[in-house]
Structure 1
C-alpha cells in the first residue's frame, strides 16, 4: 500500500551498520545509568508498538499509516542514537528489534511475490481508467494513499444519528459491513477510479454501496432497482445504463455503475451546494423532493427538524446509515474494526478449458479470503451465470491473487479434477433402479386344489398373441415458459438437458445464454 513504508531508510541503515561494532562497557553501572538504560529500552518498545500499529493502518488503507510508520522509524533511530551515547546501553538488543521489523517487512513482500508468481498483471482493457494507464504503479499507489479522503469528515455532521448508525453497523450488521468491505476491495480497482475522476470521496462510494447492495453486483429490489448502486430503470437510462442489446443490463456492470453513480452524485451536489446529506436524500428519496426541501428551507441543514421531518422514514434511515458506514471505513481502528486484507489488484485470466464460476470457486479454494472467491468472480464477471459454461479461451476478469490460484489449482492436477467431478455430479446417477433379472420376490398364484385320484392335470398351454409390429414412440415436442429468476442452467438441470444442446435448439448465443421471463424454450433433447 505505502511506498515509503516499504523503502529502507538510507540514514537508518548506515547507523545500523556502524553500530554493529559498538560494544557496551563491561563494568558495573550506577543506579542513574541503569534507569536511563531502562528508559531507552522502554522508548524502543513504544516505537516498536507504534510501528506495528502503523502497519495495521496501512493494511486498512488508512493514509495515516504511512506518516505513523515513518515517525516510528525515526523514533527507533533516535533511540539507537541515545543508546550509543548512554553508558551501559546494549545496542545489539535494540538492533535486534529494528532488524526484526525490517524482516517482517521483507517477509511480507516475499509472501506477496510468492502469491503473485506467474500471474498475469494486466487489467481488462475495458476496466483501465486513465489513472491506471498513465501513472506508474508506485506513483499511483502513493497518490491513492494520499487522496485527502479524510476531507469527508468535514463535509458531514457527526451527530447522534450517525453514532446510532455506527452502533448498528458494529452490532447486528457487522457481518454485512465486513462482507461489503471485502466485496468492495475486490472491485476497488474498477470502481474507485471513476469516483476519483469525479472528485468524490471514496468513503462515500463505499457507504452507498454497503447500504444499497452489500457489494453484490446482482442485487435487485422489489421495486426494480438493480446492481451495486441500485439504479432504477429510468435513472439508469439517463446515465447510460440499461439493456445493451445482448440481453445484459449494464446496471449490473460495476465499472458502468460506478461511472454513472459518480455522475449522478456530482449532478445532485452541484444543485445542492455540495451538501452530502441532501444529495444522499435525493439518491434514496427522489431528487425532486430533496431539491424542493433544500430550496424551501433556504439551504438549512438536513438535520433541521423542519427539513428532516419532510423526508420519508426510509430516507431518514438511509442518510445516517450511509454516512456511518463511510465513517467506519475511514476510522476502523477507532471502533476496533479489523477489515480483512484483500489483494484486489485487477488481472485477467484466459481460460485453459471450459468451466463455470461454480467450478472455479471449488478449485480456487479459500486461501486469503473468508468465504472463497465465488462472490468476487460473480462481481467481476456479471454477464456469466454461476452455473453457465464459459468456453475455453474466454478472457474473464479476476484479481492477481485469483489468477495465481487459477494457474496453480484449476488448469490441471488433483484439485482441478476433483472440481470437475463435483460440478458434473448427477444426483440421478445415485438412484438404484431394479432390473427384471435382479427381482427376488415371490408371486402369489392362488390355491392349488387336488383332483380326483390325486392327479394334477398338466397345464394347458395358452397360445401367445401374435406380436404387433414395433412402432416408434411419438415424442411430443415440448416447450417451457421462462419464469422470473430462471437461468438456462437451472432449466437444463430441471429437465435433464445439456446446456449447449438446449441453447442450440433455441438459438441462444454463448456465453451469456440470455433469456427473459415469458420467453418459450423448446425442450429438445431433454430427458424429463
Structure 2
C-alpha cells in the first residue's frame, strides 16, 4: 500500500524551516562540523512516539539497555556466520551508496545497524525499512514534532531513560541504540505484534499507513543473509 503524500507546507512554514536551517548551518560552521544544508531540519514523513507512564522497573531496564556502552563489534560463532555477515554488508553497501556516498560512513552505519538490531533481538531488514520511512537515512533529520535523527527519537526519551542531553540523539550510534531499544520495548508491550508495535513507534497505533509503509520499504533491504 502506498503511503499517502503529506500536504505541502505553507509559505510561512517554509520560511521558518529555511531560517532554522540557516541558524543550524551557522552553528555547524562555528563548531567545525561539516553538515550539509540538505541534511539539516529536512521535513520528514514521521510521527512521534507518545510519552507514556513507565513502571520504575521498565524505566530502569530501558535505561540500563541504553547505558551499556559495548562497542558495535559483531562476534561470530563460526566462519560461515562471519561470511554471511560480510555478504550482507557488501550487498547493503551497494544499495545504500546513492543515499550515503561516503564509503566509511556507509559501512559504519551498516555495522551499527547490524549490531544494534541483533543486540535488541530485532529484524534487521525491518529496521532498515523503518529508518528509510522515518528519516530517509538522514542523520540530522528533524520532524515537525521534534523527533530526531535516523530513527526519529522524540527528545523526551533522553530525559526518561538517557542522560538528558538531547543533542546526543544526532549521534549515529546513540540514535540507533535508542531506536532499537524503544522498538524492542514496544514489541514486548504488544506481545510480538509488529503491526501494533510499529504503529506505537510512530504514534499512530492501530492505523495501517505507517506499518504498511515500513513493510514496503523493508523489501528494498531483503537479503538471504540478513
**TM-score, normalized by length of structure 2?**
0.54
Change in 2 beyond 3 A, CA 1:184/1:279? farther
- Tell me how far apart the structure 2 counterparts of residues 142 and 227 of structure 1 sit (CA, whole Å): 30
Contact 1:210 1:325 in 2 (8 A): yes
1:276 paired to 2:194: yes
SS in 2 for 1:200: coil
Contact 1:239 1:264 in 2 (8 A): no
Which runs of 5 or more structure 2 residues have no equivalent in the other structure?
Answer: 1-68, 89-94
SS in 2 for 1:238: helix
After superposition, the CA RMSD in angstroms is: 3.6
- Tell me how far apart the structure 1 counterparts of residues 211 and 97 of structure 2 sit (CA, whole Å): 16
1:225 paired to 2:147: yes
> Equivalent residue for 2:39?
none
- Tell me how far apart the structure 1 counterparts of residues 96 and 143 of structure 2 sit (CA, whole Å): 17
- Tell me how far apart the structure 2 counterparts of residues 331 and 131 of structure 1 sit (CA, whole Å): 18
> Equivalent residue for 1:131?
74
SS in 2 for 1:226: coil
1:238 paired to 2:171: no
- Tell me how far apart the structure 1 counterparts of residues 78 and 168 of structure 2 sit (CA, whole Å): 29
Contact 2:158 2:165 in 1 (8 A): no
- Tell me how far apart the structure 2 counterparts of residues 241 and 140 of structure 1 sit (CA, whole Å): 36
> Equivalent residue for 2:83?
142
Which runs of 5 or more structure 1 residues have no equivalent in the other structure?
Answer: 1-125, 148-174, 291-307, 333-528
Match of 2:217 among 318, 322, 325: 325
Change in 2 beyond 3 A, CA 1:140/1:237? farther
Contact 1:225 1:232 in 2 (8 A): yes
> Equivalent residue for 1:194?
116
> Equivalent residue for 1:256?
174
Contact 2:120 2:181 in 1 (8 A): yes
Change in 2 beyond 3 A, CA 1:185/1:330? farther
- Tell me how far apart the structure 2 counterparts of residues 238 and 137 of structure 1 sit (CA, whole Å): 39
SS in 2 for 1:212: helix
Contact 2:159 2:165 in 1 (8 A): no
Contact 2:128 2:218 in 1 (8 A): yes
Q: CA deviation at 1:143?
A: 5.4
Q: CA deviation at 1:239?
A: 3.6
**TM-score, normalized by length of structure 1?**
0.25
**After the TM superposition, which residues 176-195 of structure 1 pair with which residues of structure 2 at under 5 Å, given as runs?**
179=99, 185-195=107-117
Q: Which structure carries more relative contact order (alpha carbon 8 Å, separation 6+)? A: 2
Report the count of equivalent residues.
Answer: 148
> Equivalent residue for 1:213?
135
- Which has a greater percent of helix? 2
Q: CA deviation at 1:190?
A: 2.3
- Tell me how far apart the structure 2 counterparts of residues 260 and 227 of structure 1 sit (CA, whole Å): 11
SS in 2 for 1:259: helix
Change in 2 beyond 3 A, CA 1:272/1:256? same
Moved over 4 A (4+): 135-140, 175-178, 180-186
Report Cα offsets for 1:5-24 as digits up to 9, x if no partner: xxxxxxxxxxxxxxxxxxxx
Q: CA deviation at 1:176?
A: 9.7
Q: CA deviation at 1:130?
A: 4.9
- Tell me how far apart the structure 2 counterparts of residues 137 and 241 of structure 1 sit (CA, whole Å): 37
